[in-house]
Structure formats: structure tokens, C-alpha cells
Amino acid sequence: MDAMPARSRTVTVLGATGSIGASTLDVIARHPERYRVHALTAHRSRETLLEQCRVHQPAVAVLGDERDAAWLRQRLREAGLATEVLAGAEALVEVAEAGEVDVVMSAIVGAAGLLPTLAAVRAGKRVLLANKEALVMSGALFMDAVAGSGATLLPIDSEHNAIYQCLPAEHRGGLGRHGVTQLLLTASGGPFRGRSGAELAAVTPEQACAHPNWSMGRKISVDSATLMNKGLELIEACWLFDARPDQVQVVVHPQSVIHSMAAYADGSVIAQLGNPDMRTPIAFGLAWPERIDAGVEALDLFAVARLDFEAPDEEAFPCLRLAREAMAAGGTAPAVLNAANEVAVAAFLDHRLGFTGIGELVARVRDARPVAAAADLETILEADGLARQAAHDWLNRC
């Protein structure tokens, strides 16, 4: 039986109504003696947030729009609940850095997660990072803030969480210092693994969102299908683990049982295995350095029976190469890559852009935007905005 913690930890969940947010609340509900919800946030999913507020009774709830916030306020009042309801980007920052909060789950999808996640880091919180875009965009600035504030940063993406578990306790200062020679970042290959570029031209958003192993939101599902998700994870791994792009190898592993690996100078390769369920890394982040029940079934190796590996096809899936090149270029290049991709994916989901057009749009915007030093947040946000405008301009010309 788990030992009783000295006191319960208060948790803010940014992006509570998405798949990561819902899984986080599932783990929290399994350990009411350990965790108490302080704030829940959502962009537009007010009905789902209402139900979460009824169950978890947070002190604060945040929605993106004041009209949705007014609707939620009224419904909570009718239910006799005292949850305060706020709206807008400033409210996200407020609940992320609130003094009574111990842990912040950063699960907002896309660039919208940057400012509240950075606020939580600067406030010295335990930050469970499921929003890879925040680190992709701000890189050195983000990691400097972690070091300067004393925040605890724990990666929640299954791949980075796996690597974290496979590395020595202290891995900063370059992989070579600790005998690590390579990070092996696994990828399922998505729903279109093995298809040629010509075969990919006609795929639909519905097909792209049908991931074979994981339950994810539509944007992340499309990123997985294009391998951009793996490209963003490569960038994230470089910052999290102080690695160069050439020290991170993407390995297609269709079973999604090995979540990632670390290779050592003595020839050892250490892997983290488990069923493909995000509650495992979430529970790891919430309880670290302890282990708690996540509600996930134990891995049955006899049922898995085999583990396959293959190299990614960067000709059919150019987004992985584009991401690696952006990390190598440095500065604002990753922020431009991410911004162009967000616009491209939204256009694809809206049937305004073909699947193979996603990589083409990202490449066009990358080539059109100069790389600047990402010295401050203002420069990063400006690069993000200009890249989005360039992406929209390209779409309007097509």
C-alpha cells in the first residue's frame, strides 16, 4: 500500500478536457489522499469542463472565451458549486503560477501553451510537460528558466518520459559525460506506415486521425501521421537531455511497447516498456520519485509476442527531416516550423489542404523566413506570428 504523503499536492491541469487532461484527472481520482485539484482549464469544451468541475470541484476553472465562462459560471451556480470561473490567456498564466499550486500539468495543445507553461516554470512549480510546443518554440530560454527558478521539469510525452527513466539521475552537461552515446526515440509510424508519397496524396483527415495504438486529439493525431510529432519530439529531446540532433535516432516500432531507449558507451541499451497508455507517464510525473498505481494493466509480453523495428521513410514523410533541420539551424527556426505546421494541420483538418501539402507548406514558410537568435520571448512570439501569416498567405495563393 502506498505510504501516506506528508500533505496532499495541489494540481492545476492546463488543457483538462483533452486526452492528457482527462487521463491526468483519472490518475488523480485514484489517489484522493495525495492530490487535490486547484484549477482546470479548457479552450472551448465548456460542457466537458462543467462535468469535470462537478466531479473534482476545483477552486478555479478557466475557459478561452468570456461567453463560455459566463455559461459555466451560471451552471456551476445552479449546481451549488463555488468554483471561480475566469476567461482568457491572462487567467491561464494566473492559475499556472498561483502560490497555492504545487504541480502544473501542461497539456494545452500547440503554441497557446507556451506562456502559461513558462509562467509555471518561472514560479518554480513541478511542471509535467505534455505540451511539447512550449519547449520547441522557446528552447534555451525555457531551459534557462527551469535552471534559474528551481522548477522541477518532468517530461510526460511517453517517449521523453521513457528516456528520462533510462538515463542517469544527472544527465545535464551533454550525453557523453555520462556514458550515453545515443537516444533512441521510438515512433509507431502512424496510420500510414509503409505508404509511398503518391499513396499519401489522397488520404483524408478521418484516416489521419485514426491512430493504430494511441488515443489522441485530432491535431496530435495528424502530426503523428505526418511524423511531424516525432520531429517535434526530436527537438524536445535535444533540449530536455542536452543532446545534439545527430545523437537522437528515430526508430519506427509499430507495437508501441518500447517507448524509447538510451544507448551507452559500453554497448548497453536500456529501454522502458509498457502498454500504450498515457496514464503511466502521468502517474510517474505526479508521484516522482515514488511510483503509484496508474490504472494501467501490466504488460503481457506473451501477448505482444514480437517487437519490430525499422527506419523512418523521410522521403514519404519529410516533416521529420524538416524538424531535424530546424533544430540544427537553431534560433527561431523551430518556432517557425511549429507555427507553419499548426496552420497547415488546421487547413488539412478543414479540407483546405491535402495531406502531402502539410510538409510542402512548412518547407515553403521555412525557406521564406530568416532565422534570428531566439534571445527573448518577444523575438520568439514575433517569429511565431510572422510564420503564421506567411503560412496563411501561402494557403490563400493556392
How does pLDDT run across 317-357, given as a tens digit for each residue?
999 999 999 999 999 999 999 999 999 999 999 999 999 99
pLDDT above 50 (res 2): no
pLDDT above 70 (res 3): no
Look at residue 350 in the predicted model and tell me its pLDDT.
96
Give residue for cell 497557446.
112
Cβ–Cβ < 8 Å for 294, 279: yes
**Which are the contacts of 59, defined by CB distance < 8 A and separation ≥ 6?**
38, 39, 83, 84, 100
Cβ–Cβ < 8 Å for 209, 221: yes
**Which are the contacts of 378, defined by CB distance < 8 A and separation ≥ 6?**
none
Residue 78 phi, psi dihedral angles, 5° rounding: -65, -30
Q: Band of the pLDDT at 1, cuts 50, 70, 90? A: very low
Domain at 330-398: CATH architecture: Orthogonal Bundle (1.10)
Give the fold, CATH level 3, of 9-156: Rossmann fold (3.40.50)
State the average pLDDT for the chain: 94
How does pLDDT run across 68-122, given as a tens digit for each residue?
999 999 999 999 999 999 999 999 999 999 999 999 999 998 889 999 999 999 9
Residue intervals of the chain classified under CATH 3.40.50.720 are 9-156
Residue intervals of the chain classified under CATH 1.10.1740.10 are 330-398
How does pLDDT run across 353-366, given as a tens digit for each residue?
999 999 999 999 99
Q: How crowded is the C-beta side of 152, counted as CA atoms within 13 Å?
A: 15
**Mean pLDDT value of segment 38-57:** 97
Residues in the chain: 398
pLDDT above 90 (res 173): no
* 352 DSSP 8-state letter: S
**Which are the contacts of 51, defined by CB distance < 8 A and separation ≥ 6?**
none
Paired residues of 261 in beta bridges: 184, 271
Cβ–Cβ < 8 Å for 390, 368: yes
| Of 219, 189, 228, residue with least CA distance to 43 | 219
pTM, to two decimals:
0.91
**Which are the contacts of 349, defined by CB distance < 8 A and separation ≥ 6?**
205, 218, 219, 222
Q: Which residues of 145-154 are buried (b: 16+ CB within 10 A; e: fewer)?
A: bbeebebbbb
Q: Which of 11-15, 168-172, 313-317 has the lowest mean pLDDT?
A: 168-172
